[in-house]
Amino acid sequence: MEYILFDLDGTITDPKEGITKSIQYALHKMGIEVTDLDSLCKHIGPPLKEGFMNHWNMSEEEALKAVEGYREYFVPTGLYENVVYEGIEDVCKELLNQGMKLIVATSKPEIYAAAILKHFQLEKYFIDICGATLDGSRSKKGDVIRYALDKNKICDSDVVVMVGDRLHDVLGAQENNIPVVGVLYGYGSKEELKKAGADYIAGNLTELKEILLQNFKSQN
């Protein structure tokens, strides 16, 4: 194993405050009032437009307007209402020491992902940051993963693994025929990850490091 693709939200950082407040703001602009921010955690992970359509019965046109509202709050403020998971830097350092190459693969727009990683001084651990496009032409996790693989000229599925916290990470990896490790410290449940077909499930960052080093350690 040579490459590890990392999801961002719920895997590298905990974006709860910024995302839920941005969703709340967007819903307010659409005439929907939500006071319980915890109820909006379901939006952490999936593409935004899909989330607005699935959870709020919006049409595609309405969902796109909601996405615009979301970004009004997220770009200047919500982007930085975010917390790095304690221990993730140590995991990245150890994986790098073992010869692995790390890449971010997120459904968050690439420009925002890059800004977050730079803000928290985490970009140095990754050889590439791959995300969605602002216009939504690339937003599904399977498409983002394919983009990351193609961009980095990774042709052999035996040299790459995906790490993420939601079923979208699992399904996206499966679409690209690569193994996936689900993590439980983010926003997906064990039931969700098992049902989606995660190859491995890590309860915490210590378990994640052990799984990666025991099963996917670089042979270089």
213: helix, coil or strand? helix
156 labelled catalytic? no
Burial of 175 (0-12, 13-18, 19+ CB in 10 A): middle
Contacts of 121 (CB under 8 A, 6+ apart): none
Among the options 7, 9, 143, 169, which is catalytic?
Answer: 7
Instruction: Using alpha carbons, list the distances in angstroms from residue 46 to 99, 100, 181, 187.
Output: 31, 27, 17, 11
DSSP label at residue 9: B
Residues with a known catalytic role: 7
